[in-house]
């Protein structure tokens, strides 16, 4: 169904949305969408860093017990 919209249909939808909500409302909405995307990217980055940190903490020390005390 959505394959048949085309460029004229998208432009018509954009004009209708602009008329219904006004330029100011759409502008603030797009600003909120941008903040949401930025927050999502930050969360993904922090999650990856946390996983890397957890993996490094869980890394097993394979040094033999007799060699650990040597300086």
pLDDT at 41: 95
Q: How many CB atoms lie within 10 A of CB 22?
A: 10
pTM of the entire predicted model: 0.53
Read off the pLDDT of residues 20-46 as tens digits, 9 standing for 90 and up: 888 888 888 889 999 999 999 999 999
Does residue 66 surpass a pLDDT of 90? Answer: no
CB proximity list for 26: less than 8 A, separation 6 or greater:
17, 18
pLDDT at 61: 66
Structural domain boundaries in the chain: 23-57
């Amino acid at each position: 169904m959505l394959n048949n919209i085309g460029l004229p249909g998208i432009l018509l939808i954009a004009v209708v949305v602009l008329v219904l909500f006004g330029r100011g409302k759409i502008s603030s909405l797009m600003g909120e969408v941008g903040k949401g995307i930025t927050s999502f990217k930050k969360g993904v980055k922090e999650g990856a860093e946390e996983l890397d940190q957890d993996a490094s903490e869980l890394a097993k020390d394979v040094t033999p017990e007799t060699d650990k005390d040597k300086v």
